[in-house]
Structure 1
Amino acid sequence: MGGVGHWVVIFAIGGAQAVLLALALWRRPVNRAANRVLAAWLGLVGLDLGVKAAFLAAPAPGLFRVLLFVGVFPFLYGSFFYLYVRTLTTARRLAWLDGVHLSGFAVAFAVGLPALLAAPDTNLANMQAWLAGAFPPPVPWYSPFLYAWSLSYVAAAVWRVLRFRREVRERRSDADRVSLHWVMAMAMGQVLIWGIAVVHDYVRPAGIGYFTIYGAVAVWACVLGYLGLMQATVAGDDTAEPGAPREVPPDPPAAPPAQDEDARLPEVQARLAGLMEDEAMYLAPALTIAQVARRSGYPEYLVSAAINRGFGCTFWDYINRQRIAAACRCLADASDTRTILDIAYACGFTSKSTFNSAFKRETGHTPSAWRARQAAA
């Protein structure tokens, strides 16, 4: 394992950056509970990279024992990612029962404990074997267990994100702000790193080795922290200090039988059309279905049914259709000299990319092409 000087620098920089990002996330008020899980996760990554940098810079038997200990940390990365996503999407804080998610780490630690507690002579021999790239895993099933354990948690986290996205589109018109794109980027980064590790273990191509894997981890840790700092509030407003009183919404009224609900859908749809055409409620950027329900005078479940079953779309799609129709009217008006982006914001959109994709989906044209066609006509 010669020529590791540049890896020492990469690991040291990655570890220091991970620790600094962890400290920043721990103090960040947005998504407080989730950010503290993310901060703990980044702290573990920073410690892992720091120990590797220190050992490679000056190998020593005592430091090798620490290296063996942090070598079990990858069993925590997948489960910490899942706990971060669960806390982010539900605002549910960690409890003692969540210790079950550390069981993979506990098993791996128990399996590796004999090497960690080996006699000095054996420990020295193990260290020399590790430096020569000939140190075997503690048991043959160690690597398959690691990959299965970690990737199952990544898959569970992605499933939670996709389910959360569907729920948000049913409730909010600004679903793009909390669509968790950064979480999906985190997940894809993990899948890429685990893929590199699998290729290294079972294919062993030239140019991909142990250091390559942790070099990718160092880069990913920096991206992970940056994405965490850029996130928007997700599971409600959790910026209040711990213990501060929160408004508890009243229980929703019980839904009537399905046949009664169906009979009322036309009147609810007519009321919604009035709110959109006469009051232009869709112009509110952060409009929610709860706000529309309060203004309409109908319970939220009935407004949701009127949109889902009556119009065949989600709340997010329904509001965006109103916004696109308004944008089309503005773009067709030759006297309206505002930029396309100004019109998008004026019609309730909060993102250029969301506006462009929604406009193309509804009209089959880009906003600029639509404006040009209307001007030519």
Structure 2
Amino acid sequence: MLNDLSVFLLAAGMMQAALLSVFLLLPSNIIQVSNRLLVIVLLTLAAGFGELFLYGSGVSFLHPNYAYIGTLISLLQPPAIYLYTRSLMYRHFRIRPAHAVHLIPFATGLIVFFTLYVPLSDSAKITLLQQQDLPGMPVSLPLALAYHGVFLGWLGYSLRRLRSFNSDIQHLYSDIARQQMLWLRFLLSGYLGLWIVSIICCLFFYLFRLTDKTSWVLPVVSIAGFAFINTLLVCALRQPAAFMGLTQADEILLENIQPVKAPQLRGAEQVDKVAEFMHRNQPFLDSTLSLSQLAHQLKLSPHDLSAIINNGFQQNFFTFISEYRIEHAKKLLAMPEDKRTILDIMYSSGFNSKSVFNTAFKKQTGLTPSEYRR
């Protein structure tokens, strides 16, 4: 049964999800595709919390027909998280008919629910609930594994796309701290970890037929769920102001940014031209410099500039610009008469993020900025 802490956390989680969903449904907010998808994520989380609450409070045993509804609805959550991730990465992302493929787990769950569970008598349903290895999980091990597989599969694929995205933006931007969405990667990694632990527990309980799991499972799940939803709320509400996603022009450019082997003579001339421009004009001091902006200054196409950087300098755009910024910072740090703080020098060199600056500086020099200054 539920203890007071579990009751509070589950109730608070459901209330937070419901209230924020109402907020996101306001006309000024619902226009954003990412907000609509976030509403689905929140409501499915609330449904999962509700499933645990009904099970732990004993209501599911009094009304077994309502059991597993939260579990069923939660099958919409992994695809919603994946599409939400995509909507943050790409500014012009839209829901298309092809995305209906993500409804397959939910549709399959509906079929299983109405063909295997609903026809059972109330007493048979109660017996099934009592035999659960984990609250909200099907008694059948194959079904429980399939349920976990939906979450593990979609969350894993979301992380894979996010890692690919973080690699792609280094070809386009010199300031990647905000675009990387590390908060989302951290959050999804943690959530994926919870589901890995859950499937291990499910197998353990099934093999050893342990009883009285709710005495500790529900509090642990309640705490983990409460932490997840609050982290999601804080980060998701901050994210739109930080980065609105790649534009269609960025997407097209990324599709064409494969290294291109240009004629050696012309390639060498272009490399020298770019290097001379960088030393003379110092465009890297602009913290918001992008590949397209630098290409415009050089009177080159972004595709050609990317090919020059990839082939001639053997670097992506982010690393290329960072090296110039680090060299500039090294000169300032080596000047005894320059009394500015390291943070001021960081900004003067074109960096916007302290962590990115320190990482790039250490990688290039083997020293931290403070050690180099000494």
TM (norm. structure 1) is: 0.84
Q: 2-side partners of 1:217 and 1:60: how far apart?
A: 20
Q: Which moved more, 1:124-133 or 1:165-174?
A: 124-133
1:33-71 Cα distance to aligned partner (Å, 9 max, x none): 223212221122123324543564472667543342112
Select the residue among 305, 319, 322 that pairs with 2:321: 319
> Does the 8 A contact of 2:175 with 2:287 survive in 1?
yes
Deviation at 1:22, TM superposition (A): 3.6
Kindly provide the amino acid, as one letter, of the partner of residue 198 in structure 1: I
Structure 1: where are the runs of 5+ without partners?
A: 238-245, 373-377
> Does the 8 A contact of 2:361 with 2:368 survive in 1?
yes
1:164 aligns with 2:165: yes
1:82 aligns with 2:92: no
The residue matched to 2:93 in structure 1 has which SS?
Answer: coil
Q: 1-side partners of 2:272 and 2:30: how far apart?
A: 39
> Does the 8 A contact of 1:111 with 1:139 survive in 2?
no
Q: Tell me what 1:368 maps to.
A: 370
> Does the 8 A contact of 2:6 with 2:223 survive in 1?
yes
1:223 aligns with 2:231: yes
User: Cα 1:208–1:261, aligned 2, differ >3 Å: closer, same or farther?
Assistant: farther
Q: 2-side partners of 1:100 and 1:363: how far apart?
A: 49
Deviation at 1:208, TM superposition (A): 5.3
Q: 2-side partners of 1:80 and 1:154: how far apart?
A: 10
Q: 2-side partners of 1:63 and 1:235: how far apart?
A: 46
Q: Tell me what 1:109 maps to.
A: 110
Q: Tell me what 1:243 maps to.
A: none
Kindly provide the amino acid, as one letter, of the partner of residue 280 in structure 1: Q
Spell out the pairing of 1:188-203 with structure 2 (5 A cutoff): 188-203=189-204
The residue matched to 2:352 in structure 1 has which SS?
Answer: coil
Deviation at 1:112, TM superposition (A): 1.9
Deviation at 1:341, TM superposition (A): 0.7
Q: 2-side partners of 1:152 and 1:31: how far apart?
A: 29
Structure 2: where are the runs of 5+ without partners?
A: none
1:141-186 Cα distance to aligned partner (Å, 9 max, x none): 1011112222111121111111111110011101222112112112
1:314-359 Cα distance to aligned partner (Å, 9 max, x none): 1000111111111111111111111101110121111111111111
Spell out the pairing of 1:172-211 with structure 2 (5 A cutoff): 172-204=173-205, 209-210=217-218
Kindly provide the amino acid, as one letter, of the partner of residue 234 in structure 2: Y
Q: Tell me what 1:233 maps to.
A: 243
Q: 2-side partners of 1:276 and 1:75: how far apart?
A: 52
The residue matched to 1:365 in structure 2 has which SS?
Answer: coil
Kindly provide the amino acid, as one letter, of the partner of residue 218 in structure 1: F
Deviation at 1:189, TM superposition (A): 2.0
The residue matched to 1:71 in structure 2 has which SS?
Answer: helix
Q: 2-side partners of 1:113 and 1:181: how far apart?
A: 40
> Does the 8 A contact of 1:73 with 1:105 survive in 2?
yes
Deviation at 1:24, TM superposition (A): 4.6
1:280 aligns with 2:279: no
> Does the 8 A contact of 2:132 with 2:138 survive in 1?
no
Deviation at 1:77, TM superposition (A): 2.4
Deviation at 1:250, TM superposition (A): 10
The residue matched to 1:230 in structure 2 has which SS?
Answer: helix
Q: Tell me what 2:295 maps to.
A: 293
Q: Tell me what 2:355 maps to.
A: 353
Q: CA RMSD in A?
A: 3.3
Deviation at 1:224, TM superposition (A): 1.6
How many residues were matched structurally? 359
